[in-house]
Amino acid sequence: MFSLTKAIRISFFSTVVIISFYLATINSVRNFNWPQIHAVFSFEDDKAIIQEVSEKETFLRKGDIILAIDGSEIRSNLDLLRELWAKSLTSERIIVIERNGETLSEILYFSHRFSDTENILRVLLAALLFALGIFIFYKRMMIHSVRNLSYIFISLAYAVSVPISQRSGTDIWSILIPFWWAILFSMIPPLTLNFALRFPYKKKILKKRPYLAPLAYLPTALILPITLYTLWEGGLYKELENYPLYNTVYKLFTGYLLIYVVTAFFILFNVLRNPMQRKQKMQVLWFIYGSAIGLFPYMFLRILPKLFGYESLISWEAILVILFVVPISWAISVFAYQLFDVEIVINRSLVYFTVLSSLVILYILIIYVSSSYLGNYYDLNNRMFMTLTIVGAALLFEPARRRIQYLIDRFFYRDWYSYRKTLLQVGRQLSAISDTHSLYRELVKQLVEILYLKNAYIVEFVEEKPDNISTYRLSVAHGLTEEEIIESRSLTKGFDLDLSSPIMSRFIEKLNPIHTDQIWIFPDLPEDFRELRKDMDKIHTQMLVPIVLNNKLIGCLCLGAKRSGASFTYKDIQLLKSLQHEVCLAIKNSSLIQGLIEAERLASLGEMSAKIAHEINNPLTVIMMNAQLELEKEQDPDLQNTLNLIVKHSRHIKELTRRYMNLGKVENAQRKNLLMSDVLHSTVESLTPLGQLKHVNLIESYLKGESEVNGDFTSLEQVFRNLILNAVHATSAIPLRKIEVGIKTSSESGFSEAYVSDNGSGIPTNVIDKIFDPYFSTKKEDEGTGLGLAVVKDIIEVIHKGKVSVESEIDKGTVFKILIPTVNTA
């Protein structure tokens, strides 16, 4: 899709790349055979007067040649200039041309002659720096600020090659070259400092001081206009070395460069003091030491002495050889320690080299045709053609890149191409699964097989707490042993995350997977996430992928290390991000399907309950009526007590059948203000004989100052009766059976919390999500109907607008929690 912002960005960068590439390579090679020299001269009867070099000209050395040029009629005569230069090629003199016997001392521009060795070194180094710069710009990094390095490398490449790119004469290039150099070279210091500030050498430095990064560009904005003005005034009309303002600006610019670069390296050295893994440390070390070895000799042995008026302590040839350390150290960091993904380096290099080469060839071809043929018939300006060509190349860039990327992936990276198709097929398979738990299980299984992982698991949302704190717990796992799961207590019992923290906000909003190797780069890393990182390390987890639904983090996909020991590649991360959308759609579909299934189950349950209630109520009515008739007769007291019990429990059975008939329906229950402790105590009292019979120790624990709730006493009593009876059954195989019921302070404000806990066998993790489903039961067929917990959930959530949850550990016991809104919040 066409985007004006993208077109402008690509147009700008394409312009920088094409012009810089031309100046630093093509034009440099073309000008190998003659040095670039500008000066001021005049003629007297077209005769040149040759004089000796003055000792005061300290900026000259043996082999330097200066031509004195003046007058517009001479400036355009490039052939004459080259002829004059050729005649004085072996001379150690200055050519001074006089007009009317008066010598002109003003020099237009100075550039000394370079040796062929130096020229070759400059072009090779420039090409290498350009390749790194272009690659880093187009590679989407986890750390966005790394793209600054692309501009640093391009600026360095141009700074290295610009002296041999200058053309003699006074055409547009002689004006463009120094200006272009000043703009690009002046951006190196702030870009380097900005890049260094992105690393957490002090905790939360950018969070507390967000102005630091943009402030790094302020001196550049002040110095750059002064530099351009100096080049214009001193470079076009006077000898720069003899121009007072130039010397001042040169010292100012050099000092500014030294201060910024040294500060940036000081920050990067402090980065090494942070705790990090060996691979990460080696990445930073190779970058810092390689850059320091390559750049510091240039700054301290060449620039600094000149800044104080001394001769340089090192030759240009030596400087260029040392500068090769910079790209070499970066290459080691990339290939040996996986600073970048090596595979994507090759892939992207093929794509962008092909695209850029095609566009450069197209650009040169159009300019050649326009100047050689069209210019003979039409009054057209080459600069207009150049502008139109760059705009056209920018518009063609993205479509051409997509097509070439597809062809290269198809023919040179078939595994990658098939890999991507496989993951897309997995996404479609997941969308057909209706159960969320089964969807998670299938997802981790497929990812373990496709990515060749040692393990993978999913943690999902459990509950929300005050202050935007959410609790997450292990849902499904593949490749983890029971010992490894139990070892990480925070995963099985649940851990809290502050979703308002900067890193979690970025995690949810950007939907970017977080690799454990990259966690150290965040200066604002919260402590709870550090604890999660420790748990991830314990169970060998390296990648977190957010699962976000309706802007809420409902879970995290946690991926372990690869079986091969390789790191996650850029390709893996991009494909996981594309799979996120499929997973979220599958979860939405699953929720909708589960809702429909639940509605159908409740509808069928209502129909069945009505039939059962009808069959039970008919004989029950007869029994109750006969018992009431017998009570009207005079009988002995024992018989009357028995008949009263028959009537009482018949009415209770009748009420229960009515409840079953209304399962899944919101009804006008007989609600009133009450204390849940009263309901619990009544339930325990009625079940005490059963507890004594089963040798179960029933313990009650109530909270003083308990808040009232608005509820139906009968239905709540049914809830606690069902939970206690289930606990009695769960502890049947335990020698010392214990069930505790009570009221405690709720973790959520505005709720009264009751609980029923036991020390029984626990609920297996593979069925805990199904225990509230109607007709699901872990008991034998003749021991349960699977309706007890379904009724509990219906009464608490539908009638009382509360919450019911369960926590269980195998061989340790189970806890059911009931939360009902208090009277003030109901």
CATH number at residue 469: 3.30.450.40
Which helix or strand (DSSP H or E) is residue 27 part of? helix 27-30
**Is residue 423 domain-shared with residue 567, that is, in the same domain?**
yes
**Is residue 230 domain-shared with residue 280, that is, in the same domain?**
yes
Q: Looking at 120-124, 315-319, 577-581, 668-672, which range is the least confident one?
A: 120-124
> Is-contact 646 627, C-beta < 8 A?
yes
Helices 342-369 and 570-632 sit at what angle, rounded to 10 degrees?
A: 130
| Whether pLDDT at 72 is above 50 | no
For residue range 434-475, what is the model confidence (pLDDT) as tens digits? 677 777 888 888 788 777 788 888 877 766 666 667 677 777
**Is residue 310 domain-shared with residue 454, that is, in the same domain?**
no
Cα–Cα distance, 202 to 188 (Å, whole number): 23
Q: Is residue 7 part of a domain?
A: no
Cα–Cα distance, 193 to 569 (Å, whole number): 28
For residue range 755-805, what is the model confidence (pLDDT) as tens digits? 999 988 888 877 887 788 766 777 665 555 667 788 888 888 888 888 898
| Whether pLDDT at 669 is above 70 | no
Number of folded domains in the chain? 5
| 130 compared with 6, residue with greater pLDDT | 130
Give the range with max mean pLDDT: 124-138, 652-666, 690-704, 712-726: 712-726
Give whole-number Cα distances, 401 to 8, 9, 182, 667, in Å. 17, 15, 31, 63
Domain boundary among 79, 103, 127: 103
> Is-contact 509 547, C-beta < 8 A?
no
Percent of the chain scoring above 90 in pLDDT: 1
Q: Looking at 226-230, 555-559, 590-594, 743-747, which range is the least confident one?
A: 226-230
SS3 for 646-668 is: HHHHHHHHHHHHHHHHCCCCCCC
Q: Is residue 524 part of a domain?
A: yes
**Is residue 678 domain-shared with residue 648, that is, in the same domain?**
no
Mean pLDDT of 164-179: 45
Mean pLDDT of 626-644: 77
CATH value at residue 768: 3.30.565.10
For residue range 503-533, what is the model confidence (pLDDT) as tens digits? 566 666 666 677 665 544 444 444 545 555 6
Give the range with max mean pLDDT: 99-113, 229-243, 528-542, 744-758: 744-758
- Residue 543, helix vs strand vs coil: strand
Q: Torsion angle, CA of 395/398/399/405, rounded to 10 degrees?
A: 160
> Is-contact 532 495, C-beta < 8 A?
yes
Nearest to 19 by CA among 442, 364, 487, 510: 364
| Whether pLDDT at 814 is above 80 | yes
For residue range 324-365, what is the model confidence (pLDDT) as tens digits? 787 777 667 766 665 554 455 455 555 555 665 666 666 666
Q: Residue 690: what pLDDT? A: 79
Q: Residue 509: what pLDDT? A: 66
Q: Residue 816: what pLDDT? A: 92
| 698 compared with 224, residue with greater pLDDT | 698
For residue range 102-114, what is the model confidence (pLDDT) as tens digits? 433 333 333 334 4
| 539 compared with 637, residue with greater pLDDT | 637
Q: Residue 68: what pLDDT? A: 40
What range does the domain containing 638 cover?
Answer: 596-661
Q: Which of the four pLDDT bands, split at 50, 70 and 90, describes residue 87? A: very low
- CB atoms under 10 Å from CB of 449, counted, come to 13
Sign of CA dihedral 52, 57, 58, 63: negative
> Is-contact 320 160, C-beta < 8 A?
yes
Q: Is residue 758 part of a domain?
A: yes
Domain boundary among 568, 590, 612: 590
**Is residue 48 domain-shared with residue 62, that is, in the same domain?**
yes
**Is residue 637 domain-shared with residue 723, that is, in the same domain?**
no
**Is residue 476 domain-shared with residue 542, that is, in the same domain?**
yes
Q: Which of the four pLDDT bands, split at 50, 70 and 90, describes residue 429? A: confident
| Whether pLDDT at 367 is above 70 | no
Q: Is residue 27 part of a domain?
A: no
**Is residue 138 domain-shared with residue 271, that is, in the same domain?**
yes
**Is residue 808 domain-shared with residue 684, that is, in the same domain?**
yes
Q: What is the DSSP letter of 339?
A: S
- Average pLDDT of the chain to the nearest whole number: 65
- CB atoms under 10 Å from CB of 708, counted, come to 16
Domain boundary among 661, 690, 715: 661
Give whole-number Cα distances, 754 to 703, 720, 788, 793, in Å. 10, 9, 18, 14
| Whether pLDDT at 252 is above 70 | yes
Q: Residue 48: what pLDDT? A: 39
| pTM higher than 0.85 | no
**Is residue 151 domain-shared with residue 273, that is, in the same domain?**
yes
> Is-contact 724 741, C-beta < 8 A?
yes
**Is residue 192 domain-shared with residue 333, that is, in the same domain?**
yes
Cα–Cα distance, 181 to 413 (Å, whole number): 39
Q: What is the DSSP letter of 88?
A: T
> Is-contact 532 497, C-beta < 8 A?
yes
> Is-contact 186 227, C-beta < 8 A?
yes
Mean pLDDT of 69-96: 39
Q: Is residue 641 part of a domain?
A: yes
Q: Looking at 50-54, 176-180, 504-508, which range is the least confident one?
A: 50-54
Q: Residue 398: what pLDDT? A: 65
Q: Which of the four pLDDT bands, split at 50, 70 and 90, describes residue 237? A: very low
Q: Is residue 312 part of a domain?
A: yes
Q: Looking at 85-94, 207-216, 393-402, which range is the least confident one?
A: 85-94
Mean pLDDT of 143-157: 49
Q: What is the DSSP letter of 47?
A: B
Q: Is residue 781 part of a domain?
A: yes
**Is residue 97 domain-shared with residue 120, that is, in the same domain?**
no
Give the range with max mean pLDDT: 17-31, 373-387, 392-406: 392-406
> Is-contact 531 496, C-beta < 8 A?
no
Q: Residue 324: what pLDDT? A: 77
> Is-contact 138 352, C-beta < 8 A?
yes
For residue range 255-264, what is the model confidence (pLDDT) as tens digits? 777 777 777 7
| Whether pLDDT at 603 is above 50 | yes
